[in-house]
Amino acid sequence: MRFGGQIFKKWDSPEQWALAAREAGYSAVYFPVDHRADTAVIDGYVRAAKDADLVICEIGVWNNLLDRDEAKRAANFERSVRQLELADYVRANCCVNIAGSYSDQWDGPHPENLTKRAFDEIVSITQHIIDTAKPQRTYYTLEPMPWMYPDTADSYLELIRAVDRPAFAAHVDIVNILSSPQLCYRSGEVINEWFDKLGPMIRSCHAKDIRLGGKLTVHLDECRPGTGLVDYGTYIRRTDMLENKNVCLMLEHMTEEEDYIEATRYIKGVADGIGVKL
């Protein structure tokens, strides 16, 4: 399996970028430019990643395809298509976005997010993105979320069946779906369920952690891997068991370099302890 995260060291060339990734202990990377970059710049990063044996894991979109403003929704659709085209061009594991929300907050909760209307719109939009971009060497994926589809392994399977496109695959972010004390305290079972049901379709996994606070009613907060309730032994083992060895476990959502260093140390320590090479 492959492992990566954010690169904090400044670089002046694609080669320095790739070297910084390797020095950070990574074998996978987020692609550092988007579809607006010059082709020569994009090609330079692709070559540098290949020469350093770095898997280009994800190209993100991160916008709201269910925005209630039609102009914003159209612009978000266009970016999704262009980012998917870029992911295909650089042969990234996947292009990833969230399904979208009817909330004023682009990724926020809304009472209509988990309805048939939302499900049907997500299916239609996803089909349109894939049919427009026509990817041949990558996959479009949706990051699971606690208050929008896909919010469970079963709802992800339903989406995959309904979208019915070979280029639609799965993305896993375990923390995003550990949305209750019951789920947090049996994170290993949740991880196993997701990998049992979606394993061959998984293209990328996010690595963070979650802690349960003691203040009522329920307070769940993201935290650095190793300081929360995620069963990383199971998470790493199941990722490593996938037939596709280019599937990546990618650190995210921390702001300080020291947190990435500590998270890398922790995850590699867990991997070593169970005989998995990162």
Do 90 and 47 meet the contact criterion of CB atoms below 8 Å apart?
Answer: no
pLDDT at position 215 = 94
d(CA 261, CA 70): 42
Model pLDDT for residues 23-59, shown as the tens digit of each residue? 999 999 999 999 999 999 999 999 999 999 999 999 9
Rounded mean pLDDT of the chain? 98
Confidence of residue 190 (pLDDT cuts 50, 70, 90): very high
pLDDT, mean of residues 91-116: 98
Residue 54 lies in a domain: yes
Residue 9 lies in a domain: yes
Residue 165 lies in a domain: yes
Model pLDDT for residues 237-277, shown as the tens digit of each residue? 999 999 999 999 999 999 999 999 999 999 999 999 999 99
Overall domain count for the chain: 1
pLDDT, mean of residues 15-30: 98
Residue 64 lies in a domain: yes
pLDDT at position 13 = 98
d(CA 139, CA 92): 8
pLDDT at position 208 = 98
Range of the domain at 198: 2-273
Model pLDDT for residues 193-206, shown as the tens digit of each residue? 999 999 999 999 99
Residue 278 lies in a domain: no
pLDDT at position 77 = 98
Residue 132 lies in a domain: yes
Residue 262 lies in a domain: yes
Residue 245 lies in a domain: yes
CATH number at residue 248: 3.20.20.150
Percent of the chain whose pLDDT exceeds 90: 100
Task: Give the neighbor-by-neighbor strand order of the sheet with 28-30.
Answer: 140-142, 94-97, 55-60, 28-30, 2-4, 248-251, 202-207, 170-172
pLDDT, mean of residues 164-188: 98
